[in-house]
């Protein structure tokens, strides 16, 4: 099955620099551990991509159209189509004093923000730091090993994936949603109420729904806080039952009267 523009797909990928074999992106947890790419809270799993929407690097996005579901593919991207060539003019020396004024304790290879731009510290010495303002992957050929694991077909699958893309909680089934007339109602799990950036994520979900499902007029988010379970009431002691008197006892339960043991008869021995 060949993909088309606008298809919702789940994509596994591992991306590396061709010249050094250095991995810089992956959806595989074991590879991330090996390459020290793990970040706190990050989930490694197949990544939602809508073909042609620019959610991945443009040359890779264009190559997905010729990719088949379940079939591994390799896409090579030259520097001019990736992050461009390295520009020597973007490598500058800066006094360490200027970094200290901004609260930066420089270390080799450290990524910093300086003068409103991102840079990497390439070298330190003689009271100066060499800052490289080129993109980290500039001038490098990139290789993507990808597999489309699934094509999403139903509106429920697509909306579920759009929600998960913005709020990637690990446990499946946490988000519930339903359609009501021309509205989408999303029930927020309680664990998301105080997540950092959740309001921005909700706004992003609503915009995604509006874009890909134009027939829906609105997206509603429902937050319900349930009261904690009440402790069980202690059982009241049962009143003691009155014991019946001897007169009240049924005749069958009355004890039989004591019976005297019959006397033994001893016959006298005959006289001789």
Torsion sign over Cα 183, 189, 190, 191 = negative
Considering the domain architecture, whether residues 160 and 222 belong to the same structural domain is answered as yes
pLDDT at 238 over 60: yes
- The pTM is what? 0.74
**Pairwise CA distance, residues 200 & 41, whole Å:** 18
CATH code for position 182: 3.30.70.2210
**Collapsing DSSP states into helix, strand and coil, what is residue 203?**
helix
pLDDT at residue 152 in the model: 97
Comparison of pLDDT for 132 and 243, the residue scoring more: 132
| The predicted structure's pLDDT at residue 172 | 54
Q: For residue 65, is it within any domain? A: yes
Q: What is the pLDDT of residue 242?
A: 61
The answer to whether 134 and 87 have CB atoms below 8 angstroms apart is: yes
**What pLDDT band is residue 244 in, cutting at 50, 70 and 90?**
low
In a shared domain, residues 38 and 159: no
Angle subtended by helix axes 155-166 and 198-212, to nearest 10? 150
Q: Is the pLDDT of residue 240 over 70?
A: no
**Does 192 map to a domain?**
yes
Domain holding 116, by residue range, is: 88-132
- CATH code of the domain containing 58: 3.10.50.40
Dihedral pair phi/psi, residue 120, rounded to 5°: -115, 135
Structure confidence by residue, pLDDT tens digits, 148-158: 999 999 999 99
User: Is 34 part of any domain?
Assistant: yes
Q: Are residues 53 and 185 in the same domain?
A: no
Q: Which of 210, 227, 244 is the last residue of a domain?
A: 227
What is the domain count for the chain? 3
Residue 233 lies in a domain: no
253 CB-near residues (< 8 Å, 6+ apart): none
Checking if the pLDDT of 191 tops 90, the result is: no
* 124, 79: one domain: no
What gap in Å lies between CA 174 and CA 214, rounded to an integer? 25
Residue 105 lies in a domain: yes
**Shared-domain flag, residues 56 and 168:** no
Q: Say how many C-beta atoms besides its own lie within 10 A of residue 23's C-beta.
A: 19
pLDDT digits 0-9 by tens, 54-71: 999 999 999 999 899 999
Q: Above 90 in pLDDT, residue 73? A: yes
In this prediction, residue 255 carries a pLDDT of 53
Q: What is the pLDDT of residue 126?
A: 85
Quick check: is 267 in a domain? no
User: What percent of the chain clears pLDDT 70, i.e. is strictly above it?
Assistant: 86
Residue 1 has a pLDDT of: 67
Say whether both 172 and 215 belong to one domain.
yes
Residue 38 reports pLDDT greater than 90: no
Domain annotation covers residue 35: yes
Q: What are phi and psi of 58, to 5 degrees?
A: -50, -50
Mean pLDDT of the chain: 87
Does residue 101 lie within any of the structural domains? yes
Instruction: Say if residue 17 is in the same domain as residue 149.
Output: yes
Do 144 and 13 fall into the same domain? yes
Mean pLDDT, residues 207-226 taken together: 94
């Amino acid at each position: 099955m060949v993909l088309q523009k606008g298809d919702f797909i789940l994509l596994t990928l591992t991306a590396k620099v061709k010249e050094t074999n250095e991995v810089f992106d992956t959806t595989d947890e074991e590879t991330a551990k090996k390459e020290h790419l793990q970040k706190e809270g990050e989930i490694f799993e197949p990544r939602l991509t809508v073909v042609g929407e620019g959610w991945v690097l443009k040359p890779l996005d264009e190559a997905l159209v010729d990719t088949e579901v379940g079939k591994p593919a390799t896409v090579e991207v030259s520097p001019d189509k990736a992050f461009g060539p390295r520009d020597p003019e973007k490598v500058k020396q800066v006094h360490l004093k200027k970094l200290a004024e901004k609260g930066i304790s420089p270390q080799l290879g450290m990524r910093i923000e300086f003068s409103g731009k991102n840079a990497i510290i390439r070298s330190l010495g003689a009271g100066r730091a060499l800052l490289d303002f080129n993109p980290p992957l500039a001038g490098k050929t990139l290789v993507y090993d990808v597999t489309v694991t699934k094509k999403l077909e139903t509106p429920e699958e697509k909306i579920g994936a759009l929600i998960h893309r913005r709020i990637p909680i690990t446990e499946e089934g946490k988000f519930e949603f339903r359609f009501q007339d021309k509205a989408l109602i999303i029930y927020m799990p309680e664990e998301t109420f105080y997540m950092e950036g959740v309001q921005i994520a909700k706004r992003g979900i609503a915009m995604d729904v509006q874009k890909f499902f134009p027939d829906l007029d609105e997206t509603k988010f429902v937050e319900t806080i349930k009261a904690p379970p009440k402790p069980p009431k202690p059982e009241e002691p049962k009143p003691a039952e009155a014991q019946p008197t001897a007169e009240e006892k049924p005749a069958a339960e009355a004890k039989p009267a004591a019976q005297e043991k019959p006397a033994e008869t001893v016959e006298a021995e005959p006289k001789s």
